[in-house]
Amino acid sequence: MGSQYLKFLIAAVIFALVPLEVKASEQLKLNCTSSKNKNSVISQSNGFLKGTWKLYPYASAIGGDHGKGEMHALHIGFGYFFQDSLSVSIDILGARIRSGIDDNGVAAGLDILLRKHFYKNHDNLWSIYFDTGGGLQQQSTNFSGSRHFNFRLMGGFGGTLKIFNHIRIISGVRYLHISDAGIRGGGGGFDGFMFYSGGAFPF
């Protein structure tokens, strides 16, 4: 009688434990899936992953070369991350020039920039980056010298701050050289700084 009771008790315990093991296994799978999804969401929200596209509207002010004047511009950039944290951007600009060596005028240009986000905090709330590049500029007045068609070379540092889920503020400063690369010569080119601020939007 005692033996039969013991067998019945063991069978009941085994029967009770099997569903618990199945439930524990299922819960573990759910936890793993949830963790992966959470990590995926966190990774996607950082905005610096390979294959990500960004739209960069921003405004800039250029000055610092004594006597040459100032230039204020609006830019629209289209950036693509070809590696994590490393992107290339094509930026189109339109500007108003207050020339110190000629009449005031306007300018249009295009830049190609390589940008590396070399530091990000643990939750990707903000980042620090370095960017460098060059481009072309056509202007209606003398600003950097005696030629209206010029080349642009630049490099500097900036930062981003996430304000919404996928939207960031960007701000930075670049050292900027504008000249005709000695094709016509005269005026020595423009050497100063560009201060800029705007936004970064996924698309």
Q: Which amino acid is at 85?
A: S
Model pTM score: 0.76
Claim to verify: residue 23 and residue 87 sit in the same structural domain = no
Claim to verify: residue 36 and residue 86 sit in the same structural domain = no
Number of domains in the chain: 2
Claim to verify: residue 26 and residue 86 sit in the same structural domain = no
Claim to verify: residue 37 and residue 132 sit in the same structural domain = no
Claim to verify: residue 103 and residue 29 sit in the same structural domain = no
Claim to verify: residue 14 and residue 91 sit in the same structural domain = no
pLDDT along the chain (203 residues), means of 10: 45 43 45 45 62 97 88 97 97 93 91 96 92 95 83 97 92 95 75 96 92
For 84, the domain range is 53-202
Burial 164-201 (b: 16+ CB within 10 A, else e): eeeebebebebebbbbbeeeeeebebbebbbebebebe
Claim to verify: residue 137 and residue 168 sit in the same structural domain = yes
Give the angle 89-91-96 at the CA atoms, nearest 5°. 160
Claim to verify: residue 152 and residue 88 sit in the same structural domain = yes
Claim to verify: residue 70 and residue 132 sit in the same structural domain = yes
CB-side exposure of 199: number of CA atoms within 13 Å?
8
pLDDT attached to residue 183? 79
Listed in sequence order, the residues at least 6 apart from 19 whose beta carbon sits closer than 8 Å to its beta carbon are: none
User: Domain with 170 in it: what CATH number?
Assistant: 2.40.160.20
